[in-house]
Structure 1
């Protein structure tokens, strides 16, 4: 497993409890004190904490019935060759720019371009903080897995070409997005993608169980304000 910690709220807050459990399991070098242990790198610490999670939260392989139900509910995610031709205008978040003011500016520009779609390319060249702005905002053909999840969700939920009516907020900033072409690809049957379905379902179930485990750890941990 190699999950993104953003999928595990409470991961950082539970660091001390996870280190304490690592000590109980004998996984700290030379019996180091979990309150004072020093790691060679942040990646080394992260690997140990995830190892504790994998030990404490068992991985469960789903049965065929569960996997089929998951596939039926998420069939769109398994289309082969689905892609979107996308353009955008990025208003990038930087330390010097107030986020609220940036969002308001982006929303004003979105209203303007919704009223006059022909203005999109010029707006991208004038204001986009993405290198694609020089080309009128074009990002080319995107397939699933090529962009951050929040951007992917927005563009792949589109069922017809055109400007998205709302800003798309990502870790990079606020995007005015235009879906230029839609290719839905082919929808394989369950057996053709069974391995991927089982992996995705097991991962989702494991992450859910980890979030519950971390929530319990955080609830059991004393507040740092309590002496």
Structure 2
């Protein structure tokens, strides 16, 4: 006997078409509205990306602090429970408040000298390297592990003592994802400001980077991918005295000190607030940078 079964309560619901994607699709859960002390940062049903949401949260924290200090008026009206968009005048008030509340200690002469002694290569002027490289670019969807193995094999071949002098240029032409591959990977003479910061640190700013030529014994990893680096020639440059770079070091240490103070200030505001729907740490808002 044929018996009809009632559809299960857990069966997927759809429009009935086999070609339709809605069959079996679970309804999406509504994203909670992120709030700071009960003030919504976005409309229900909307969800800004994480960096934007954090910026909105930090800005609202600062606005509420300015209201509490009597520097900005309360936010009245039917939208009082939503974070208002700030105009230039309000932003200037907040910036002035932050400047007043966040004190940045000035670095001492001893601190400046200690920094100079610990980072001397950073201040060398006139240094340059004649460099060639092979770039194994990390692009979306690439198998990074396989790419690393491929790059390591090429580096191993180029590191052998008996390798032919022309082999680097040949491999650069075959493997490199940089336009310099047409010149055998030759980048010409470069200084610290002519390459990615990661390369500049390794090639110019570290103590071990001050001498020697030839193929570097390990891969360099930058935002662009993996590099095999061959230093052909070098100009050592000149090490300036501390007095020549005193103002530059003072500005650098002041900037670092202000960044720490701003982070502590924002962390204090976050710790006092009731924040829902987003994780906050320190000072990522452009208003306090």
Pick the TM interval, shorter chain.
0.7 to 0.9
- RMSD of aligned alpha carbons: 3.8
Q: By percentage of residues, which structure has more helix?
A: 1
TM-score for both structures, normalised by structure 1: 0.75
Q: From the CA coordinates, give the structure whose radius of gyration is larger.
A: 2
TM-score for both structures, normalised by structure 2: 0.60
Q: Aligned residue pairs: how many?
A: 211
| Aligned residue number for residue 6 of structure 1 | none
| Aligned residue number for residue 130 of structure 1 | 178
Report the Cα distance in structure 2 between the residues aligned to 1:107 and 1:13, rounded to whole angstroms.
41
Report the Cα distance in structure 1 between the residues aligned to 2:61 and 2:142, rounded to whole angstroms.
42
RCO higher in 1 or 2 (8 Å CA, sep ≥ 6)?
1
Residue 15 of structure 1 deviates from its aligned partner by 2.9
- 1:143 equivalent to 2:197? Answer no
Deviations 1:81-138 (A, max 9, x none): 0122211101111113122221221112111211236321111111111111110111
Higher deviation after alignment, 85-94 or 211-220: 211-220
- 1:20 equivalent to 2:60? Answer yes
Report the secondary structure of 2:233's partner residue: strand
- 1:188 equivalent to 2:188? Answer no
Residue 34 of structure 1 deviates from its aligned partner by 9.5
Q: Equivalent of 2:216, from 158, 161, 164? A: 164
Determine if contact 2:127/2:238 at 8 Å carries over to the other structure: yes
Deviations 1:3-36 (A, max 9, x none): xxxxxxx9878534411233223699x9597965
Residue 212 of structure 1 deviates from its aligned partner by 5.2
Determine if contact 1:84/1:143 at 8 Å carries over to the other structure: yes
The unaligned stretches of length 5 or more in structure 1 are: 1-9
Report the Cα distance in structure 1 between the residues aligned to 2:54 and 2:170, rounded to whole angstroms.
48
Deviations 1:169-200 (A, max 9, x none): 11111111111112221111111111111112
The unaligned stretches of length 5 or more in structure 2 are: 1-49, 280-289
